[in-house]
Structure 1
Amino acid sequence: MDSNQTKLDRRDFLGVAGLFTAGILFSPNFMLAQVKKDGPVEIITKAAATAKINVTKLRGNISMVEGSGGNIAVLNGPEGKLLVDAGINVSQAHLQAALNSISNKPIKMLINSHWHFDHTSGNEWLHKAGATIVSQDVTRNYLQRDVYQADWKFTFKALPKGGIPTIIYKSEFNKKFNGENIKVKTYKPAHTDGDSFIYFQNADILHVADTFWNAYYPFIDYSTGGSIDGMIAASERNVKMTTNHTIVIPGHGAIGNRAQLIEFHEMLSTIRERVAKLKKQGRSLNEAIAAKPTASFDPKFGKFVINGDFFTNLVYRGV
């Protein structure tokens, strides 16, 4: 078995914003090795507690903050700070310091892109700091109850009352804040069945959350309505929403652009076609994995948390 599946390089892990959802976490060897110790969610949470938080200034008083779970967007200005996603709660001290480095303005609003814990477990402390929390109705529903995630073999507990969004939208939400027009709209089921993008219109910055993992194979959460076809549709939509001027904030990975969205879409579509062909031929999951349908993409997309074998597994389930 590839050593990338069974080893977690802590420095690399922390350096890419707490990527948590896959590869090594689902490797049988990794899971067996940890069975008498912490589980994967506990391991990721502990790593996030000491993660270095990086702030990158983008455009129009908007920054990307990485290191506490999923990438966070911060819009700063006279009205205060608006955040997209909350990171992992144990990063509070480091994330607060990073936010303070942007300005001393108060935190006023938080938008959750979807329910996953590396994007929402910081909700409660950010609410206590002053944020009104906004989310899709589907996302709030997950955050209000315990959710069992089969791939992680973990039950995520409902957030405390203070972490539950209080402004809810079904399909879209619009807000003018610090002079910026913010447009939030939902996708059809993709990474989960409750994904949204957040577009800062004036700055032309698009936060697409986990519908795009820049230069990585993405996780698809079948336990809460995700699908490979939905991911392909979402990636196509992301391409159509952007120009060569648009700055793209992925859920995980480095700041992106339209060309990288196109490359990501082509990767998803090609692998889906290859895996579907194998499945139609009657190949079992193990046989499909052995055929290496991701081989041509592995050097680019398979070098970190999700390798080609596990991504084949994800795609096979959805075709």
Structure 2
Amino acid sequence: MTMPANHQSMLSRRGFCLCCAAAAGFAATGGWFSPATAYAKARSIVDLIRDEAAKTKIKVHKLRGNVSILEGSGGNIAVLTGGDGKVFVDAGITASRLRILEAANSLSRDPITHLINTHWHFDHADGNAWLNAEGAEITAHENTHKHLMSTQRVEDWDFNFTPSALAAVPTDIFDTDKTLKLNGSTLQLRYYGPAHTDSDISVNFSEADILHVGDTYWNGIYPFIDYSTGGSIGGMIKATEANLAAATKRTIVIPGHGTPVSNREELSSYRDMLVAIRDNVAKLKSQGRSIEEAISARPTAAFDAKWGQFVITPEFFVRLVYQGV
């Protein structure tokens, strides 16, 4: 049966991102839902992601300075171990709880005492409540607090998120930057301004020279930009410039999604891709091209082989960029 054009458009706009959010590692294993598969099921995409998270293996990547990455539950989770207790950067999806605990306990038996949210999205903050129950104080930008306290609609996911339980809401909030001293490490938290959302922060493990940049960076895949809660293509580029300024050749860069261990060189390639596609789409829009005409012109063609091979398709990425130029 041929799918109506307007339904195809709906799938391309709504069926992509929570598919990505299930686990960054799905990209390497072929385990990501396609939009058609997701919509063939009579459940919301959020439910499907929770189902996948409940059975996906958590992979542990040990870095340096007692910092590791847990990959496989929503966004890439960083864990810092030490005598002050385990510090999590992002919480993943609640359905992964037992597997996350098992992976974290393989690093140390220290209690979980702190959680930092890089932004408010489901695939990074869904586990807030259970981590709080384990003993974690939750730190985040004030806009993450605001979004988790109220109903949020993400248009491109066609989903309304209800207010979070109070246990899941950050209690240690800040506006521009904050420094934490934990486990002999200095953690520098910095607000980007509107980027992927209006709540994004970076977390710099200063002594280890490890930079967690959340969803301002998607390693090897086109990124989602949440215009519903303040994101923009310009903000994403600005945030990436800030990340490049904060990184050196030695810095380990942790992206929100995609291959979890990255570096400044790969981050620079990501910046170049964003800028080139932004400029290409802006030129087409300035010529009066409609969004469908812009898509037909294939302004992402030079980058699709590397960045456009997963569920955030070149077509959808053009739609996102077009909205913001």
The alignment's TM-score, normalised by the length of structure 1, stands at: 0.92
Segments of structure 1 that go 5 or more residues without pairing to the other structure are none
Partner of 1:300: 306
Aligned pairs, how many?
Answer: 308
Deviations 1:169-209 (A, max 9, x none): 11111111010011001002010011000000000000000
Partner of 2:252: 247
Contact 1:76 1:178 in 2 (8 A): yes
Distance of 1:307 and 1:41 partners within structure 2: 19
Partner of 1:183: 188
Q: Secondary structure at the match of 1:234?
A: helix
Distance of 2:245 and 2:25 partners within structure 1: 27
Shift of 1:7: 10
Runs of 4+ in 1 over 6 A off after TM superposition: 4-8, 12-15
Partner of 1:43: 48
Which amino acid in 1 is paired with 2:127? G
Q: Secondary structure at the match of 2:262?
A: coil
1:101 counterpart (106, 115, 129) = 106
Partner of 2:317: 311
- Spell out the pairing of 1:276-295 with structure 2 (5 A cutoff): 276-295=282-301
Q: 1:142 to 1:243 in 2, by over 3 A?
A: same
RMSD: 2.3
Matched, 1:259 2:242: no
Q: Sequence identity, in percent? A: 49
Contact 1:18 1:69 in 2 (8 A): no
Distance of 1:140 and 1:26 partners within structure 2: 32
Matched, 1:129 2:134: yes
Q: 1:61 to 1:32 in 2, by over 3 A?
A: closer
Contact 1:26 1:151 in 2 (8 A): no
Which amino acid in 1 is paired with 2:212? H
Matched, 1:227 2:235: no
Partner of 1:110: 115
Partner of 2:197: 192
1:76 counterpart (81, 96, 100) = 81
Distance of 1:140 and 1:219 partners within structure 2: 21
Contact 2:15 2:39 in 1 (8 A): no
Distance of 1:210 and 1:239 partners within structure 2: 15
Q: Secondary structure at the match of 2:225?
A: coil
Shift of 1:144: 0.7
Distance of 2:275 and 2:25 partners within structure 1: 26
Segments of structure 2 that go 5 or more residues without pairing to the other structure are none
Partner of 2:171: 166
Q: 1:317 to 1:61 in 2, by over 3 A?
A: same
Contact 1:279 1:316 in 2 (8 A): yes
- Spell out the pairing of 1:51-66 with structure 2 (5 A cutoff): 51-66=56-71
Distance of 1:317 and 1:26 partners within structure 2: 23
Q: 1:60 to 1:261 in 2, by over 3 A?
A: same
Deviations 1:291-311 (A, max 9, x none): 111011001001112111110
Which amino acid in 2 is paired with 1:51? T
Which amino acid in 1 is paired with 2:239? A
Shift of 1:30: 5.6
Q: Secondary structure at the match of 1:151?
A: helix
Q: Secondary structure at the match of 2:156?
A: coil
Shift of 1:262: 0.4
Shift of 1:80: 1.1
Distance of 1:240 and 1:137 partners within structure 2: 24
Partner of 1:144: 149
Q: Secondary structure at the match of 1:303?
A: coil
Contact 2:180 2:188 in 1 (8 A): yes
Which amino acid in 2 is paired with 1:97? E
Q: Secondary structure at the match of 1:306?
A: coil
Q: 1:60 to 1:231 in 2, by over 3 A?
A: same
Q: Secondary structure at the match of 2:213?
A: strand
Deviations 1:219-264 (A, max 9, x none): 0000000000000111111111110000000001111100011000
Distance of 1:204 and 1:223 partners within structure 2: 33
Q: Secondary structure at the match of 1:115?
A: coil
Shift of 1:33: 3.1
The alignment's TM-score, normalised by the length of structure 2, stands at: 0.90
Q: Secondary structure at the match of 1:59?
A: coil
Contact 1:26 1:152 in 2 (8 A): no
